[in-house]
């Protein structure tokens, strides 16, 4: 089935690194946004990553429940079923989990995968992210290493973050000294050295090079992709080419294509996309409401127009628009047309 197993996911990342492209990692929080992500990848003939944040999981469980873990499980199970209808490889990932939520989000989800594996079923999620940007680097690694060990035992890839991606993501305002917006070669060397304590484990690194979460006009975000180049060079010089890192690009809204492509050249194989797809999903809904204002309201006792206030009438447009934005992301990141599906299933 198209949800990637561990070997396929590793192959996806290897192919991206070798051939200089990256996968869009699309945040979803509902069935509609999940469908849009899957359709967008399929239309672009691109493999991709569908991811759920703590906030996305809570939203998916409903306003009465607000259980981020239960919502994430429900979305993942849905994607497992629906991805089977598309001829591309999809990986499931969880996004931005801080230290204080590991025991209420990531660890319970790993436990869910452990139960599935005992039953002979596939992993629920292929990878998880620990966001250690709120702690110092030593503490970050002290938390990450045992987490990496548990992930490795269950064929799960761990994503970690070093430094601070500024701005706001999923309700969390990231703040810190300006120098923390830029990961140093020394930071990357330390991460490589520490993560090697779990032999054979696979991980991704969200290194910071001026990234800022949120939405900005082109030119407003000052990126320094050469930071990634310098860090990779330091790692290769000390530990060899096999130690070259799989890098993740957070906070890419407002970045130019040249900056994105430069980051890919230096080893970025995954780019998180949330702000742009949120806008793409919402824009048609706004247009629908403004165009059909009198039809969606019972003005002066009128009954309105059921054809235009039926949520399906505008959510279909929202899904289609978001799917188009996902396909555009595949084109921008050069993953379009490069699915490995036929060679993997």
Catalytic residues: 95
Q: Are 174 and 190 in contact (CB under 8 A)?
A: no
304 SS3 class: coil
If we measure between CA atoms, which residue out of 147, 6, 126 comes closest to residue 76?
126
If we measure between CA atoms, which residue out of 9, 1, 16 comes closest to residue 246?
16
Distance CA 3, CA 122 (A): 9
Name the helix (H) or strand (E) containing 205. Answer: strand 203-207
Distance CA 280, CA 273 (A): 11
* Alpha-carbon distances of 267 from 115, 203, 286, rounded to whole Å: 34, 13, 38
- C-beta neighbour count of 331 within 10 angstroms: 14
Q: Are 256 and 249 in contact (CB under 8 A)?
A: no
Distance CA 105, CA 120 (A): 23
If we measure between CA atoms, which residue out of 85, 91, 10, 79 comes closest to residue 47?
91
């Amino acid at each position: 089935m198209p949800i990637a197993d561990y070997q396929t996911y590793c192959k996806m990342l290897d192919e991206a690194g070798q051939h200089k492209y990256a996968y869009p990692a699309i945040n979803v929080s509902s069935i509609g946004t999940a469908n849009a992500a899957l359709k967008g990848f399929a239309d672009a003939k691109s493999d991709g990553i569908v991811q759920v944040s703590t906030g996305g999981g809570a939203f998916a469980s409903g306003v009465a429940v607000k259980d981020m873990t239960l919502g994430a499980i429900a979305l993942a199970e849905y994607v497992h079923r629906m991805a089977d209808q598309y001829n591309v490889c999809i990986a499931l990932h969880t996004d931005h989990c801080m230290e204080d939520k590991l025991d209420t989000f990531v660890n319970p989800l790993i436990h869910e995968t452990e139960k599935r594996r005992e039953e002979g079923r596939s992993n629920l999620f292929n990878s998880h992210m620990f966001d250690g940007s709120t702690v110092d680097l030593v503490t970050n690694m002290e938390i990450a290493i045992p987490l990496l060990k548990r992930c490795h035992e269950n064929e799960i890839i761990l994503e970690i973050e070093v430094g601070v991606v500024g701005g706001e993501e999923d309700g969390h305002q990231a703040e810190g000294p300006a120098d923390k917006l830029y990961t140093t070669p020394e930071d990357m060397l330390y991460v490589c050295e520490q993560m090697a304590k779990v032999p054979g484990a696979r991980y991704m690194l969200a290194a910071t090079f001026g990234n800022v979460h949120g939405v900005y006009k082109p030119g407003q975000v000052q990126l320094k992709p050469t930071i990634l180049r310098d860090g990779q060079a330091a790692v290769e010089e000390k530990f060899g080419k096999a130690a070259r890192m799989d890098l993740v690009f957070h906070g890419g809204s407002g970045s130019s294509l040249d900056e994105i492509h430069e980051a890919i050249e230096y080893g970025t194989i995954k780019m998180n996309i949330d702000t742009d797809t949120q806008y793409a999903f919402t824009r048609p809904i706004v247009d629908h409401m403004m165009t059909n204002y009198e039809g969606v309201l019972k003005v002066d006792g009128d009954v309105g127009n059921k054809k235009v206030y039926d949520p399906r009438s505008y959510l279909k447009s929202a899904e289609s628009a978001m799917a188009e934005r996902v396909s555009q992301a595949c084109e921008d990141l050069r993953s379009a047309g490069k699915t490995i599906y036929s060679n993997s299933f």
